Amino acid sequence: MSKAISNQNDVKQNLKFQKIIVVVGIILFTVKVIAWYFTNSVAILTDTLESIVNIITSFVGLYSLYLSSLPKDENHPYGHGKVEFISAAIEGMLIAVAGILIVFEAISNFKHPHPIARLDTGIYLISATAIISYLIGSIAVKKGKKNKSLALEASGKHLRSDTYSTLGIIIGLIVISFTKILWLDSLVALIFAGIIFYTGFKIIKDSISGIMDEADNQLIDEFVKVMQTERKAQWIDLHNLRIIKYGSTLHMDCHLTLPYYYNVASAHDEIEELDQIVNNHFGTKVELFIHTDPCQPYSCEICSLKECPVRRTDFKQTWVWDKNNVSQNQKHNLNKN
């Protein structure tokens, strides 16, 4: 299967699942409204308010996934994947705002407590929403990570954070039903408003990192370990490695040092082999650009190619690649490093 077909399949899966999230968000909101109507609980009301954000952000996520699925064009030669970072940032801000609104509502209820009724009905209803939110959210996070979709992953994290806050609310409502202490309703809302706000902040931070092309050290470290494990003797050196995320696509570029006497065809074969290794490990959503450098006399000391016909000095040691030295824009040399 070609890269283009595989990428398109992943995009379709992301879009399809995001549509499911939209439908689920609307259903869960409706159930929570009913639960709030029966109970008049401010804690359930705050959970309901967050569900409104869920619906809005799920539509934003759906639109961003649609845009990111558009093919490359003259104005967007790297594709439209960056829109997913913008979508995630918007979603994070809305989640954070929801957390702040919940704080104000909870404080207001401290001053003017609302009477609470039919807690058992409310507990059953929002318990059902918590289970559904966690299941759908976990699947979304898993798919988002697999398909490198920040928008889908953000939607999943939002649903899971909604589950955690709902679970806390359920515990609070159970305690209230036994103790009859009404101000606990507001306390529960305040505690989980903080969790909601932190989730929004974390999503904003991750999306800004993506927009700014911040180095993903974990991803770089994983790439380097694969290269170190699979390296061939003729792959003398690897340096100037950079990885940029564009939605579900990874753009990697690096410099690979090969024996200087290799012709264009031989160098191309080596690049093809390296590209295949990367695709086998990271999937086909990778665009790998490799610049080949000819070896220098000082390269002999770190070159383990036994059958080299032009070796000038003896091999001394293998230069072990790690995330720090492969990111440097310089060929490795025992005398300088």
- Pair 163, 189 in one domain: yes
- Pair 269, 331 in one domain: yes
Per-residue pLDDT for 137 more than 80?
yes
Range of the domain at 221: 215-337
Q: Which of 211, 236, 268 is the last residue of a domain?
A: 211
> What pLDDT shows up at residue 303?
93
- Pair 203, 251 in one domain: no
Mean pLDDT along residues 90-96: 80
The listed range with the strongest mean pLDDT (4-18, 21-35, 74-88) is: 21-35
- Pair 204, 226 in one domain: no
Mean pLDDT of the chain: 82
Q: Which of 273, 13, 20, 271 is nearest to 148 (CA)?
A: 13
∠ CA 37-42-46, rounded to 5°: 95
- Pair 139, 246 in one domain: no
Per-residue pLDDT for 151 more than 90?
no
- Pair 82, 113 in one domain: yes
> Which CATH number do you get for residue 245?
3.30.70.1350
Who contacts 328 (Cβ-Cβ below 8 Å, separation ≥6)?
Answer: 239, 240
Per-residue pLDDT for 211 more than 60?
yes
> What pLDDT shows up at residue 302?
92
> What pLDDT shows up at residue 163?
82
Instruction: Please report where in the chains the tokens 């869960």 appear, as a residue.
Output: 28
List the structure tokens of 182: 């009404």
> Which CATH number do you get for residue 125?
1.20.1510.10
Pairing type for strands 237-246 and 249-258 reads: antiparallel
Per-residue pLDDT for 213 more than 70?
no
More confident residue, 82 or 279: 279
Residues in the chain: 337
List the structure tokens of 298: 């000082």
Q: How far is the CA of 298 from the CAs of 174, 263, 290, 337, in angstroms?
A: 73, 21, 22, 12
- Pair 152, 256 in one domain: no
Q: What share of the chain is helix, strand, coil (3-state, %, to 5)?
A: 65, 10, 25
This prediction's pTM: 0.59
> What pLDDT shows up at residue 248?
59
**Residue 280: other Cβ atoms inside 10 A:** 11
Q: Which of 190, 211, 232 is the last residue of a domain?
A: 211
Q: How many domains does the chain have?
A: 2
